[in-house]
Amino acid sequence: MRTRTLFAAALLPAVLTLAACGNDAKNDGVASVNGGKASGTASAKATLSQEEAQLKFAQCMRKYGVQVSDPDPNNPGKITVKGDKGSGAKMDEAQKNCQQYLQAGGMGKRKPTAKELDQMVKMAQCLREHGLDAKDPGPDGGMRMSVKEGMDPKKVEQAQKECQQKYPEIRQ
């Protein structure tokens, strides 16, 4: 089994962990979060807390058939997503329709500043120094990270924790 993680930093503090046993031909199986465009048919209240927004996001994803855990109150901002071979299109559709809840919680509403992007690049470098395949952020601030097969999940969590402590402003 291969695990992939999206670490959406700064303006979108949710951490989505995707455990995938394979990939579509068209989709790389990595969960992604759009940093600034709301999609979907319904619009969520603009007054959700980040915790409420993440919970509604997880509930919405499940409505679209994606296996998503509720956010862990002991590990804020982390949502675990499980996908099997061929589930990429379903995940993309769910995210497109559920993104609005994260935005209603104040996450992903604006693009990061140049200073914030610089900090995110440093965060990605820190993750790479810990053996993770972390890509530099895109202009929306989203960071993708792949975890090599067989890598200890505790080491992955420890790397994320250490890098987040080193760059705490990214989690604001």
- What pLDDT does 109 receive? 59
Angle between helices 88-104 and 50-63 (to 10 degrees): 150
Phi-psi group of 10: left, alpha or beta (phi > 0 → left; psi -120 to 50 → alpha; rest → beta):
left
Return the bridge partners of 144, or none.
Answer: 6
pLDDT in single tens digits along all 172 residues of the chain: 334 444 433 333 344 444 433 333 333 434 433 333 333 444 444 568 888 888 898 899 899 988 888 887 776 666 777 666 556 778 778 888 888 888 777 775 567 888 888 988 998 999 999 988 888 888 777 776 776 777 888 888 888 889 888 888 775 3
Closest CA to 121 of 57, 170, 74, 62: 170
Return the bridge partners of 145, or none.
Answer: 5, 134
- What pLDDT does 90 receive? 82
- What pLDDT does 46 receive? 53
Averaged pLDDT of the chain:
70
Tell me the pLDDT tens digit for each residue of 126-144.
999 998 888 888 877 777 6
- What pLDDT does 133 receive? 84
Composition of the chain by helix, strand, coil, percent to 5: 40, 15, 45
